[in-house]
Amino acid sequence: MTSSPILTIPGVPTRRQQEFFQARSRFIAYGGARGGGKSWALRRKLIAMCLRYPELRCLLIRRTYPELKANHVLPFLKEYGAFLSWSEADKVLTLPNGSRIFLGYCSADSDALRYQGQEYDIIAIDEATQLNEYCFSIFKACLRGISDAPRRMYLTCNPGGVGHGWVKRLFVDRQFRKNENPDDYCFIPALVYDNDILLKADPDYVRSLESLPHRLRDAWLYGKWNVFEGQFLPEFDPDLHVLPPSSIPLRLKHFLAFDYGFDMLAALLMGIDSDGNIYALRELTVPDLTLSQGAERIALLCRGQAVEFAVASPDLWNRRQDSGKSGFEIMQAVKGMPPMLPADNRRIPGWRMLREYLGASPFLRISSSCEELIRCLGALLCDPNRPEDASGEPHSITHAPEALRYALMSRCPPLAPSPPEKFHFFTPRPRSFFD
């Protein structure tokens, strides 16, 4: 009887890598900074799972195949080549017990569609912030099967990239939407300082990270998710620009701004004080609404407030071929909808205006109840072709900032200052002896 081959997995994991190996959540993200040993840990976790569960189907994804081959295929073959069989044609690594690791890439939405309908027990996404949320959702749907093996998705990540927003929302901020179970998501942060082997082998690498410009150093060395390279609004600081609702003045002039699309309606109830300071008071972000349904929800948002007007994208004034009416006519006909005005939708001047309000007086302050606006402002990326413009990708984070840009470009006049109280001396009336 021939005994099964014995495979020794080399290396000693760090404390953070041990946490990653022991995690049992359905979606596990590992990383945050450069040099935390993410790729090493990911390969060993996949090998360990394949050894434990025969016939396991795993998928390892990265943005491009050349990156995947350099960062994983070659190291796999170097470390476990005598134990693995590699098919270049099929892009699959096979273990003696029948477990397989399929290698794939996803540089665009069309690449993700190639995986629709396929089933995997384990999916590993390396550098997950390089993928948008749509691609992530496609891979989530592939995480299924009928075997007794656990269903797990492992993600490695650094701050920045087109997927920064959804990774931060799910794993760092833990802001979940309907049908997202918080127990399914686990984040294990790792810094270069956790990687003792790298610290000893290449201390110059750590010094090079420490010498980076401030923003890159915060992201790459300290793994800070509020700052990253390519961020469009580095001026936005939640500690400075976000206030609890109780700290916002009560006496304000109110107006509204919204960005409408069937994929998302984003509306902001705004206020302005006598000094010209502007406040984002409440938000409405709802997908899949028709024009009339959107107007009804906006009217509900404005209820109880004297809202002077609502600004929206000028394309709502275009007539629709299906009804012959414009979006403006449909929405304005809804009871309670404030008077609508076309916004000044120039992009670069609008973003410049936003930066002005994030800086000197008059200033912009945002209520902490506007969670979607706060999240999206911090996640906006620079347009790679127009540095002064925000990128349209990922599209899901652009709606609330667009509404804010419309609001600031509306140039609502400040609230009139309160009239000074009149001062006068009290003249006592004559008093009699019997008073």
Residue 70 in tokens: 């350099």
Domain 15-220 in CATH 3.40.50.300: yes
Whether the link from the prior residue into 362 is cis, omega within 30° of 0, is yes
pLDDT of residue 435: 47
pLDDT of residue 269: 97
Query: What ranges do the domains of the chain cover?
Result: 15-220, 238-409
Model confidence at 429, in pLDDT bands (50, 70, 90)?
Answer: low
**DSSP-based three-state secondary structure for 289:** coil
Average pLDDT, the chain: 88
The segment with the largest mean pLDDT, out of 24-28, 35-39, 188-192, 215-219, is 24-28
Per residue in 68-120, pLDDT (tens digit) is 999 899 999 988 888 899 999 999 999 999 999 999 999 989 999 999 889 99
Model confidence at 205, in pLDDT bands (50, 70, 90)?
Answer: confident
The answer to whether the beta carbons of residues 260 and 312 sit under 8 Å apart is: yes
Q: Which residue has the higher pLDDT, 135 or 193?
A: 135
Q: What is the pTM of this model?
A: 0.77
CATH code for residues 238-409: 3.30.420.280
Between strands 100-105 and 92-94, the pairing is antiparallel
pLDDT of residue 98: 95
CA 357 – CA 322 distance, rounded (Å): 40
Tokens 């295929």: give the residue: 73
Whether the link from the prior residue into 413 is cis, omega within 30° of 0, is no
Is residue 433 over pLDDT 60? no
Q: CA-CA distances (angstroms) from residue 307 to 24, 257, 279?
A: 50, 11, 14
* Distance from chain centroid for Cα 171: 10
Per residue in 236-285, pLDDT (tens digit) is 989 899 999 999 999 999 999 999 998 999 999 999 999 999 999 999 99
pLDDT of residue 423: 53
Cα first-last separation, the chain: 121
Is residue 326 over pLDDT 80? yes
Query: Nearest to residue 24, comparing CAs of 188, 192, 195?
Result: 188
Lowest-confidence region among 150-154, 301-305, 362-366, 409-413: 409-413
Segments in 309-381 forming alpha helices (H): 327-332, 347-358, 371-379
Fold: same for 15-220 and 238-409 = no
Per residue in 327-376, pLDDT (tens digit) is 999 999 999 999 999 999 999 999 999 999 998 788 999 999 999 999 99
Q: Which helix (H) or strand (E) holds 260?
A: strand 253-261
Beta bridge pairs of residue 283: 268
CA 280 – CA 268 distance, rounded (Å): 7
